[in-house]
């Protein structure tokens, strides 16, 4: 494409130069505009596609919520929407369903692949559930191993509360009180968990 305007021209000369530039570069201008609109419409199409896929995966997830035995919806999520967060949420739901049936090993089989999930909410949710399952299976060492030495304002109270439960199950009352107290101090006054921890703490005194 030819140069647009030469510096140093008068206004009249520049106007003529602009007209000549447009005439000489009409084809390139048309192609550029077409490509520009193509990019815009292509982006819009991609956004719409992403939106549609998100709706589909959500609908499949809701179908599983309504019926955890809906194998068709579960399979569709895994095969058609493998990268969706709804796949992980469905796995959590299936694990919960397995626990309600007393099938702890099946629940662990669902959860363990997600234990290092890149989504922080999913990861901590899974660790807390796995530790709870180990507690139900009377495997405190495995439960402690999963929880580790985690300290964080968002999830720390949940970790410490569960550690208190594990120590209580082991008959280690003072350690249980220590972690209940730690969990209690991390929660705001309106938290329902805080009230529950207070009840646990009072029962140990």
**Residue 168 near residue 181, CB atoms below 8 Å:** no
Distance in angstroms (rounded) separating the CA atoms of residues 5 and 24: 13
126 lies in some domain = no
Q: Can you give the pLDDT at residue 1?
A: 47
Entry pTM: 0.69
Q: Can you give the pLDDT at residue 203?
A: 86
Q: Can you give the pLDDT at residue 54?
A: 64
30 lies in some domain = yes
Distance in angstroms (rounded) separating the CA atoms of residues 129 and 141: 15
197 lies in some domain = no
Total domain count, the chain: 1
34 lies in some domain = yes
94 lies in some domain = no
**Residue 194 near residue 184, CB atoms below 8 Å:** yes
Distance in angstroms (rounded) separating the CA atoms of residues 141 and 166: 9
Q: Can you give the pLDDT at residue 192?
A: 86
29 lies in some domain = yes
181 lies in some domain = no
List per-block mean pLDDT (blocks of 10 residues) for the chain, which spans 205 residues. Answer: 48 60 57 57 53 66 74 73 76 89 94 91 92 95 91 85 95 94 90 89 84
Q: Can you give the pLDDT at residue 111?
A: 94
Q: Can you give the pLDDT at residue 5?
A: 44
Distance in angstroms (rounded) separating the CA atoms of residues 183 and 126: 19
Give residue 48's domain range.
9-73
Q: Can you give the pLDDT at residue 189?
A: 86
Q: Can you give the pLDDT at residue 98?
A: 92
66 lies in some domain = yes
């Amino acid at each position: 494409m030819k140069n647009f305007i030469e510096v140093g021209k008068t206004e009249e000369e520049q106007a003529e130069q602009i007209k000549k530039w447009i005439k000489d570069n009409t084809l390139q201008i048309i192609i550029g505009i077409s490509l520009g609109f193509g990019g815009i419409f292509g982006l819009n199409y991609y956004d719409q596609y992403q939106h549609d896929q998100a709706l589909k995966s959500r609908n499949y997830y809701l179908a599983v919520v309504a019926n955890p035995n809906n194998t068709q919806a579960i399979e569709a999520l895994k095969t058609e929407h493998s990268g969706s967060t709804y796949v992980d949420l469905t796995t959590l739901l299936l694990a919960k369903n397995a626990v309600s049936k007393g099938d702890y090993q099946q629940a662990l089989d669902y959860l363990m692949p997600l234990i290092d999930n890149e989504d922080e909410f999913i990861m901590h949710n899974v660790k807390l559930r796995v530790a709870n399952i180990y507690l139900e299976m009377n495997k405190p060492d495995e439960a402690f191993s999963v929880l580790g030495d985690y300290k964080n304002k968002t999830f720390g109270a949940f970790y410490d509360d569960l550690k208190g439960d594990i120590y209580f199950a082991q008959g280690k009352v003072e350690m249980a009180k220590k972690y209940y107290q730690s969990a209690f101090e991390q929660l705001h006054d309106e938290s329902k968990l805080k009230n529950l921890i207070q009840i646990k703490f009072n029962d140990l005194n």
